[in-house]
A = this chain, B = another copy of it.
Amino acid sequence: MEEKRFTGACPANLKAVKITGDFWSRFQELVRTQVIPYQWEALNDRIEGAAPSYCMENFKIASGQKAGDFGGCVFQDSDFAKWIEAVGYSLSIHPDAELEKTADEAIDLVCSAQQPDGYLDTYYIINGLQERFTNLAHNHELYCLGHMIEGAVAYYQATGKDKLLNAVRRYADLVNNTFGTGQGKIPGYPGHEIIEMALVRLYDITGEEKYIKLAKYFIDQRGQEPNYFRQEIQSSGKPWGWAKSPFGLQYYQAGKPVREQTAAEGHAVRAVYLYSGMADVARKTNDQSLWNACKTLWNNIVQKRMYITGSIGSTHYGESFTFDYDLPNDSVYGETCAAIGLVFFARRMLEMEVKGEYADVMEQALYNGVISGMSLDGKSFFYVNPLEVIPEASEKDHDRSHVKVQRQKWFGCACCPPNLARLVSSLGTYMYGTGSLEGRDVLYHHLFATGQADFVLDGKSIEIQTETRYPWDGTLKTAFTIPNGEAAFAYSVRIPGWCEHYSLTMNGASAEYQLKDGYAVLNRTFQDGDVVVLQMEMTARLISASPEVRDDFGKVCVCRGPVVYCLEQEDNGNKLHKVRLSGNVSFRENWEDMLDGIVALECEGASVGEAEQTDGKLYRRYTPPVYRPKALRWIPYYAWANRSAGEMAVWVRIQD
């Protein structure tokens, strides 16, 4: 590998970060006590009333321990992989001998299905190995391997146990020998990306450059002519589902070489997984044009194709992006996994270049479109995260039938719950980063939660203790424990993009800092016991979208800190489309214990009553509608649909 040229932030070691503050530790506990155990039951077909997963059953059949047919989706193996990854993270932050024993046994079973040449995908082991690697566009073999690598690395990092890691290395080696543009190799790449970023993690653990090269190959080969997918689809002789779709091969981001792709297109999860892998490979290989492609795609998403909640994917059709500024609130897809993928992408952009906007988007997605995917009790999940819900439309309009009014217990295609589990469990790695600036070590503080974290800076052990009630309060206190007494480094704390007024103190006095790319940089020799306090003014504010966004034009939404708010029928009645705010509206903020503790907002709005126009006529000569005052109550968007089912709206009309 060439020498490192990019000066980004290396993510923190998960084991070095402890989150103890309410907000995120509560989610981590939900994952540990609810999601991971439930998922294990699901993988073993022990959930009463739920369709069987077949996942572990498939491994038993593939290993010859049982007879039977393959069951579930073609990518069913990945359910185990995502589970073991979440288990790994959870064990890293919360050791649990019993869970580890269960995981070890599961790994034994999984590894027992591995073929002599390293191959390990139950669908083809059970259905016939001669067909393997023949339907890359749709049959998810490389996707399953990617997830398996991520799981193996996480489990190894948590426990030091390398059985699964060795298994995936052997499989990755087989793939490395099978794929490529050389003689006798398959010039293909995955239909659903993830293996690219997984291989970079495998490199990080093993130091084997072949894995980076394989990741780079998958990225470089994608979309090249002659187009591998086109040939594969044509030679299959079967009809192709996306033939008449607006995106064609761009459904898989394979319509042209990735460096020529300038807009986020096709299946949103695949897209951001690819871009994450591109960023990883660009960083590892100092690939400037690949980095440029990442920045172009990043800008396209966050400037033109992202919901205020950090959700992406404007249509259910292909779970895909559509076009610039097309952000319908009621027919949105906004898959939980896609918002999670955007967090992956954002963290990798930070690894290349520390700019507040990357962490801003990471935060925006995390506090809104990611955690909205899970109920507050950790037992039910949204796949789709709408910004406006009309129950009757979900029931009676096919094009909005994917928009559910209540979270579902589990899905046949259960990608979102385990994806949430692995992200939430590993959140510590997203909160901090380290790097260097003009020869000095830097500690980047991207995200805020109460807890502690350990780093080595200036060659010395540093522990920080953080205290905050974020996202409900804008005060962040960071105390430095330096056993050696002092250390020279830069503490670079993000000033969130949402924050217009803030102050920084050092041991109670105004702090000296430089503002650089959205971070306040305190570059100094820190003393043991130093305390930095960042005060971010946090009040409810009205946000508007670019006027190019048709569906938000003439509307506003309400945010406070990083949290997007919404109106629910439970608090405000239905017919939320009639609600209007004035531009000078003011909000009362109340801490409430409901919904596991939130700051609720109240304001005076207006609405058009039923009584105004009830002559039964659908159309009439225009007269100005009579708006009457209406008290409105806002709750955080992520907490919606945890009470009664009903209407919900993020964007409401503004009088301007």
Contact = CB atoms under 8 A, between A and B. Distances in A.
B622 A543 contact: yes
Nearest to A393: B326
A398 B622 contact: no
Contacts of A44: none
Interface string A279-308: 000000000000000000001001110101
- Looking at A306, A316, A393, A653, the one whose CB has the most chain B CB atoms below 10 A away is A393
A499 to B, nearest CB: 11
A550 interface: yes
Nearest to A558: B622
A623 B584 CA distance: 10
Contacts of A438: none
Interface residues of A, number: 61
Contacts of A612: 547
Nearest to A556: B622
A541 to B, nearest CB: 6
A101 interface: no
A322 interface: yes
A145 to B, nearest CB: 31
Interface string A612-626: 110011111111110
Contacts of A500: 621
A225 interface: no
A337 B317 CA distance: 27
A397 B656 CA distance: 30
A392 B323 contact: yes
Contact of A654 (B246, B543, B622): B622
A654 B608 CA distance: 15
A543 B621 contact: yes
A7 to B, nearest CB: 24
Interface string A255-273: 0000000000000000000
Interface string A598-638: 00000000001000110011111111110000000000000
A616 B401 contact: no
Given A398-B318, A556-B622, A303 B578 contact: no
Contacts of A617: 303, 546
Contact of A302 (B547, B608, B618): B618
A545 B622 CA distance: 8
A624 B575 CA distance: 25
A547 B401 CA distance: 24
Interface in A452-491: none
A543 B613 CA distance: 13
A544 interface: yes
Given A546-B618, A618-B549, A399 B399 contact: yes
18 contacts: A303-B618, A304-B618, A316-B399, A322-B396, A323-B393, A323-B396, A326-B392, A326-B396, A331-B399, A543-B619, A543-B621, A545-B618, A546-B613, A553-B577, A553-B578, A622-B654, A624-B656, A625-B656
Interface of A: 245-247, 299, 302-304, 306, 308, 314-318, 322-323, 326, 331, 390, 392-393, 395-399, 401, 500, 541-550, 553-554, 556, 575, 577-578, 583, 608, 612-613, 616-625, 653-654, 656
Given A302-B618, A316-B399, 15 more contacts: A246-B396, A299-B616, A303-B616, A303-B617, A304-B618, A323-B396, A542-B621, A542-B622, A543-B620, A544-B620, A545-B619, A547-B613, A548-B575, A549-B618, A554-B554
